[in-house]
């Protein structure tokens, strides 16, 4: 079964997280430090190939009121450019409060500011991907294994 790759797309970095094959658990993978689009995509797609990724979950940076802005335009442009290189299923996942949630958890774990900065984007990607996976299972889209009589 194929996995999903979650992306937290920023101006300088792309946080990456990977699901397990059962599409239940997301794990942070790494942070891709952005250079130019083509080498960045080569790195991303190489990871996708190595990990048997069948689709991407991109953080959708809507404003707190639910409206879209320039950050959503940037993510949409990223998705269109990626699709010109490889046709992969892409879904956008609301990422409101993802960085705040991750930051709060790291502070609670008593992580230093430097360690938090080092891990923030990959953990945000993990939060985004896990939110999507939870939605999949809550909606019974994937893994509905219920048998009659149980």
Rounded to two decimals, the pTM is 0.82
Only one residue has tokens 């939060």, namely 127
Residues 124-150 have a mean pLDDT of 72
Show the tokens assigned to 74: 């940037």
pLDDT, tens only, 50-101: 999 999 999 998 888 888 888 899 999 999 999 999 999 999 998 876 666 6
Report whether pLDDT(106) > 80: no
Bigger pLDDT: 47 or 138?
Answer: 47
Give the C-alpha separation, 125 to 16, whole Å: 5
DSSP H or E stretch at residue 92 = strand 90-94
pLDDT, position 123: 86
Q: For position 149, what pLDDT does the model report?
A: 39
Pairing verdict, β 26-33 and 3-9? unpaired
CA 74 – CA 79 distance, rounded (Å): 9
Residue with the bigger pLDDT between 112 and 27: it is 27
Q: Delineate the domains of the chain, giving CATH numbers in brackets.
A: 3-138 (3.30.420.140)
Cα–Cα distance, 18 to 53 (Å, whole number): 8
Backbone angles phi, psi at 108, to 5 degrees: -60, -30
Is residue 112 over pLDDT 70? yes
At 69 the pLDDT is 85
Give the neighbor-by-neighbor strand order of the sheet with 26-33: 26-33, 13-19, 3-9, 53-60, 90-94
């Amino acid at each position: 079964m194929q996995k999903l790759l979650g992306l937290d797309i920023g101006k300088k970095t792309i946080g990456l997280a990977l699901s397990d094959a059962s599409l239940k658990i997301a794990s942070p993978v790494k942070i891709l430090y952005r250079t130019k689009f083509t080498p960045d995509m080569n790195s991303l797609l190489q990871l996708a190939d190595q990990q048997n990724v069948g689709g991407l979950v991109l953080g959708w940076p809507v404003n707190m009121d639910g409206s879209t802005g320039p950050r959503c335009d940037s993510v949409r442009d990223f998705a269109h450019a990626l699709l010109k290189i490889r046709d992969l299923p892409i879904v956008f996942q609301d990422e409101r409060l993802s960085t705040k949630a991750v930051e709060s958890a790291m502070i609670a774990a008593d992580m230093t500011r430097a360690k938090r900065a080092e891990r923030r984007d990959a953990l945000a990607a993990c939060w985004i991907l896990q939110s999507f996976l939870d939605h999949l299972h809550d909606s019974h889209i994937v893994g509905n294994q219920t048998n009659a009589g149980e």
